[in-house]
Amino acid sequence: MRLCVCENLGNNKTRLEYTSSRVTPYNPPRYVINSDVADEFVYKYNKKSSDLAKLSAGLTTAGALSGLITSAKKNSVRAVAKTFTGAAAGFLTASFISYKSKDELMNKYKVDKYI
């Protein structure tokens, strides 16, 4: 999901929204930010989002491969279970890193939820 600058709300505030796509939820969150840093924030947020998507894919793959390698000499049921567990661990790790990274960026630019 990509963030975009939408409309000026006055009082030097701008509303941010996610662009509509197949993966955008039904009611995505909206944010408010100071107008003078809105473009810079959106650029950094979208770039970080793209980088974190690659990290998520890499960590999930690495987790699945490590689970598969550790169970290579075991029976097939255990191999499938460890592969799935490794992939889930990689995905959860990537999700946590993504959440913390985006949250720090939002706190740095003082982004608030739009109500």
Q: Is the pTM of this model over 0.75?
A: yes
Domain count for the chain: 1
Nearest 5°: CA angle at 86, between 77 and 100? Answer: 155
Q: Which residue, chain included where needed, has tokens 């473009």?
A: 39
Sorted by sequence, the CB contacts under 8 Å of residue 64 that are 6+ apart come out as: 83, 84, 86, 87, 90
Q: Which domain range does residue 54 map to? A: 3-113
pLDDT in tens, 73-90: 767 787 788 888 889 999
pLDDT in tens, 27-79: 788 899 998 998 999 999 999 988 999 999 999 999 888 888 887 776 778 77
CA–CA distance, 111 with 9 (Å, rounded to integer): 14
